[in-house]
């Protein structure tokens, strides 16, 4: 297990030696002042990095991005508040599933792979159905690598006075994302922010946070209002994964030192390098260029090789790729450029991929 794999799956990601070393911080009780300081520092950095210290607050959870997503949706869910889910993949459907599990009325507008529900149809529904209180969507649909039109949806939500709930688990930190008019946004430490899996968070506008504080909780561990209440007081309701919080704080320090704009630019550059390599190899893209994220690229598996063989051959050379999901299983493979991945790593990968395909 001493071998370094280049993780080209969409999380967990390769982290820097600096972030890995931070795990060796001292054993610490989460009820002590030192952890309170760590918790407050992470929350302060998150809000500052994304420029929303005046408009939003944030709650941290020990759990993957799905924990933050379920906290966000279950805490908002209400039998009298219908949510319009805009879905075009596995993770859009996950939003529907979570809301239905928590007895929220849901309307779903779905689109085929590589598409997105027509915005004029979204607007028509918002205008005609007064039961709809909120819009929910995934920013980066990781099952395909499609970047959804968040800015246009944000404008519609603002125009019709609807709360907007966003899954940005696999985009925040790598894609351009305006948060000021978003009511709720779920994110994760273990993807574009270059921390370890196991810590996630929800940004909440202060207006929505005030509403949550008056609601009856639907869950215990994932109750967003309770998490906010404790964390605003430098406390945590349950035992957190302390060492993972150390690592997340270090990853955020790295991001601040680099600058969010430069981090996003680096993702764009790495993505362009991969796309150019794929074109040279004659591979076919699942998603058209104008709709692709800079985080992950989905490609059709070539006819002369199976996904299993492709994965095994590349793993032997130190590269971990990712399969398709649902109806795309065994039909596509996905290549992510998340985390501490250099341009040298990418060039080595493209050389290895060329040999395997030949």
Interval 227-257: pLDDT, tens: 999 999 999 999 999 999 999 999 999 999 9
10 Å CB burial of residue 125 (0-12, 13-18, 19+) is middle
pTM value is 0.97
E strands in the chain:
6-7, 56-62, 82-87, 106-110, 132-138, 140-141, 146-147, 163-167, 184-188, 199-205, 296-300, 319-320, 322-323, 332-336
Asked if residue 27 has pLDDT above 90, the reply is yes
Specify the pLDDT at position 3: 80
Residue range 267-310, pLDDT digits in tens? 999 999 999 999 999 999 999 999 999 999 999 999 989 999 99
Average pLDDT in the 98-113 region?
95
Bridge partners (DSSP) of residue 141 are: 146
Average pLDDT of the chain, as a whole number: 97
Specify the pLDDT at position 2: 65
CA dihedral 213, 215, 218, 221 (to 10 degrees): 10
Helix (H, G, I), strand (E, B) or coil at 278: helix
E strands in 16-93:
56-62, 82-87
Residue range 121-177, pLDDT digits in tens? 999 999 999 999 999 999 999 999 999 999 999 999 999 999 999 999 999 999 999
* Tokens (6 digits) for 228: 């906010």
């Amino acid at each position: 297990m001493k071998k370094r794999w280049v993780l080209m799956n969409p999380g967990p990601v390769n982290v820097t030696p600096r972030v890995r070393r931070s795990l060796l911080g001292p054993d610490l009780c989460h009820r002590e002042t030192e952890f309170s300081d760590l918790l407050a520092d992470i929350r302060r950095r998150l809000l500052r990095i994304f420029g929303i210290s005046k408009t939003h607050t944030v709650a941290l959870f020990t759990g993957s991005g799905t924990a933050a997503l379920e906290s966000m949706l279950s805490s908002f869910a209400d039998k009298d508040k219908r949510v319009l889910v805009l879905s075009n993949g596995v993770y859009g459907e996950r939003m529907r599933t979570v809301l239905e599990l928590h007895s929220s009325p849901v309307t779903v507008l779905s689109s085929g792979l590589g598409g997105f529900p027509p915005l004029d149809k979204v607007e028509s529904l918002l205008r005609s159905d007064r039961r709809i209180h909120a819009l929910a969507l995934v920013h980066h649909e990781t099952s395909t690598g499609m970047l959804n039109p968040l800015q246009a949806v944000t404008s519609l939500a603002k125009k019709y006075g609807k709360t907007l709930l966003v899954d940005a688990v696999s985009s925040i930190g790598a894609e351009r994302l305006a948060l000021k008019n978003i009511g709720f946004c779920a994110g994760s430490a273990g993807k574009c922010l270059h921390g370890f899996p196991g810590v996630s968070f929800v940004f909440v506008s202060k207006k929505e946070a005030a509403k949550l504080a008056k609601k009856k909780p639907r869950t215990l561990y994932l109750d967003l209002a309770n998490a906010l209440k404790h964390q605003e007081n430098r406390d945590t309701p349950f035992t957190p994964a302390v060492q993972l919080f150390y690592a997340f704080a270090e990853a955020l320090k790295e991001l601040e030192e680099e600058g969010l704009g430069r981090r996003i630019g680096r993702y764009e550059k790495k993505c362009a390098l991969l796309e150019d390599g794929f074109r040279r190899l004659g591979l076919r893209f699942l998603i058209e260029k104008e709709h692709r994220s800079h985080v992950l690229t989905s490609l059709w598996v070539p006819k002369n090789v199976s996904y299993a063989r492709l994965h095994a051959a590349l793993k032997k050379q130190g590269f971990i790729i990712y399969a398709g999901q649902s109806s795309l299983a065994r039909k596509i493979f996905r290549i992510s450029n998340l985390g501490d991945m250099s341009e040298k790593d990418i060039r080595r990968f493209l050389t290895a991929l060329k040999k395997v395909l030949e």
